[in-house]
Amino acid sequence: MLVSLPEPLPPMLATLGEVPTGEQWAFEWKWDGVRAVVGSSGDRVRVHSRNLRDITATYPELSRLGGLVAGTALLDGELVTLDELGRPDFGRLQSRMHVASPTAALLRDYPVCYYVFDLLRLDGADLLDLPYQHRRQRLARLELNHPPLLRTPDHYTNTSGADLLDVAAEYGLEGVVAKRLDSAYRPGTRSRNWIKTPLRLTQEVVIGGWTPGQRRRAGMLGSLLLGAHDDTGALVYIGHVGTGFSDAALRDMQARLRPLRRESSPFGTEVPRDRARQATWVDPVLVGEVEHRQWTAEGRLRHPSWRGLRTDKRPHEVRLPR
């Protein structure tokens, strides 16, 4: 009898914070990729992004998971692409994220790996209310370790999260995530029961406009004007970014922005005059991510660098940090 694939769920999200202490916490590595919820039943597999967009066709190699996962399961994890040292490389993943039907060459040169860290449903049983430590035990029994395509990375208990953060820095990883051993899984909720501590600060941003380039970039895009939503839903201007782009990325961004042009600023707060005077405003529908050093006292990004578009995120999900 044909068993239905489990319905996808929006993933539970971690809160930004310092590494917690105490025996009630487990620690995982923070992976530099994109979140993916995978449903598997027999030889059928379906992959959804954080906002429940079906991305199965974008990552066709994941169809092989059907032969590796016993029974019917709903998994939560991270899609990553590895560098030559075996570390997740978000820049390499960018080559795959926006391609609906990847070529054989793209699949060969930029293969993805699925790192599984939670089990939400198994053979019709809902596991959401089980404590994290019990879900991890159930996940371990599935033995989902088939590199390079599929891995269940280790989690650590009775250890120092601060020491693990030092190890992450030494090996070029993104940081650590702490999870309470007794925490239930709450789909679509950002919870203090999960705390992420990145080594590099990143911020999701909404693009609200752009300014022209100068010198070498004359006639091209110079910088993007960035925003994030406050608690009222207003789009707050948080700065501009002009570094971190390859020439190909600049051309691609200009092509995406051209049809989005509008006459007025989409920001609910004032944009500095020197930026607004040169700005071409656009509808705030494209989401990206920047890396930055810190926030200024004025609520602006200090020294941001572009990391790439985030097609797995929706504009209304981009919020100011609390």
Query: Of 30, 179, 196, 313, which is the active-site residue?
Result: 30
Spatial distance between the Cα atoms of 240 and 211, rounded to a whole number of angstroms:
9
Which residues on adjacent β-strands are paired with residue 71? Answer: none
Amino acid at 36: A
Would you list the DSSP string of 208-268?
A: EEEEEB-GGGBTSEEEEEEEEE-TTS-EEEEEEE-SS--HHHHHHHHHHHGGGEESS---S
Decide if 30 is catalytic.
yes
Separation in Å, CA 321 to CA 17, 156, 270, 288: 11, 28, 19, 16
Spatial distance between the Cα atoms of 293 and 64, rounded to a whole number of angstroms:
40
Which residues have a catalytic role annotated?
30
